[in-house]
Amino acid sequence: MMDVFSNVRLQLDKIRQVADLSDKEIGLLTSPKRIVDVTFPVKMDDGSVRRFHGFRVQFNDARGPTKGGIRFHPNVDMGEVKSLAFWMALKCAVVDIPYGGAKGGVEVDPKTLSANELERLARGYIKSIFEVIGAEKDIPAPDVYTTPQIMAWMLDEYESIIGKHQPGMITGKPIELGGSLGRGYSTSQGGAYVLKEYLKVIGMEPAGMKVAVQGFGNAGSHIARILHAWGCKVIAVSDSRQGIYDEDGLDIPGVLEHKSRTGELTGFGKAITNSQLLSLPVDILVPAALENQIIKDNAKTINAKIILELANGPVSPEADAALEKEGIVVLPDILANAGGVTVSYFEWVQNLYGYYWSEDEVMEKLSMVMTKSFKDVQVTRQKYATSFRNGAYILAINRILAAERLRGRL
């Protein structure tokens, strides 16, 4: 398996050449503050006890308490979690919210567990890490294969342990337990706002643009819905099992209803493989699945004009260089998918104040944050005459290093 954290080092090597970072600064940026590696028991429905392997990495807290999701996935490993925590630190700095970066995960295929086993797993994980998380320390959230219901179980377990209510210890919760309106589609909406700002820069409108979306989970399905509503022609979507394609544009509301009812994408348009979807001639390609989907080996097959990264780390550094050479614009993950953590921040603020906003207020504030963040990245990339990814990295790193210097750590 590819070590995802090696991508972080490659990316920083590239940034170092552009932004003139010192050895000391690179050392600080690649050294997590805390790594938690746990195994914990879970009682299964048949009465047996199974032990699970979990992680939590708190990368940097110079700008505030750490923040980041928890994923349940069979391929979770420390390299992946470290990388995701690093990217979260950058992401929070890019959108200028007062958080550091963290990430967590449990090595499990949640599809093999019953609802009761999944609940016991969620509670067991929180029992094993509760001492290092909390509203003023480290605030988890949903990620791959974790849901608002799982966040609710985790909240209840944490509050049971500490003996008081603390809704701000976790975000992505159900609305009834202090979740924020709009959180469910905020990652996609934030990405759409970034895309719209870029299209303004190049003098184009979204209507009529051809789009392919890889990954039809929460982020992918919502971006397909949003772009379809904007008049884009979404010609292909895929999930972990199958993909569908229609040159004239898919009926996205129909696809969403069909997937919700049957759990399948098949039934709309032609079948298409993941590699075929990635190589379609489109205006906008949206990788919204997992890391390392566009790598050195398949970068030359990409036929999109714009890549909007809704997944974390979907393009490897080697692929990034190849795409840049071909003139393909990549709107990077630490900017493009930061709408999720931004509305998580809004949720946290609402929890701390006990005062809740309407969905329109949430979206208005999200639009303001994402628009300003795009403009900040644009100014930085123009200053350094570099790509959007490098511009976003330099902006984030400068903000983190400034906080470290002010604290006397650098």
**Catalytic site positions:** 103
pLDDT in tens, 234-280: 999 999 888 999 999 999 999 999 999 988 888 788 999 988 999 99
**Per residue in 325-360, is it b (16+ CB within 10 Å) or e — as a string?**
eeebbbbbbbbbbbbbbbbbbbbbbbbeeeebbeee
What six digits make up the tokens of 68? 């980041």
What the chain holds in terms of domains, given with CATH numbers, is 33-181 (3.40.50.10860), 185-336 (3.40.50.720)
Spatial contact of 101 and 67, defined as CB atoms under 8 Å apart = yes
Report which of 389, 300, 297, 288 is spatially closest to residue 340, judged by C-alpha positions: 288
Residue 1 has pLDDT above 60, yes or no: no
| CB 284, CB 236: distance < 8 Å | no
Rama region for 163: left / alpha / beta (φ>0; ψ in -120 to 50; rest): left
Mean pLDDT, rounded, of the chain = 94
Beta carbons within 8 Å of 5's beta carbon, 6+ residues apart? 79, 80, 82, 83, 86
pLDDT of residue 240: 83
Mean pLDDT of 69-97: 94
Q: Dump pLDDT digits (tens) for 160-219.
A: 999 999 999 999 999 999 999 999 999 999 999 999 999 999 999 999 999 999 999 889
Question: 41 pLDDT exceeds 60?
Answer: yes
Q: Order across the sheet with 49-60: list the strands.
A: 34-43, 49-60, 100-107, 66-73, 138-142
Between 204 and 1, name the one with better pLDDT. 204
- ∠ Cα 42 290 381 (to 5°): 130
pLDDT at 317 over 90: no
Q: What is the pTM of this model?
A: 0.93
Phi/psi at 66 (5° precision): -75, 160
Mean pLDDT of 70-79: 93
What mean pLDDT do residues 310-330 have?
Answer: 92
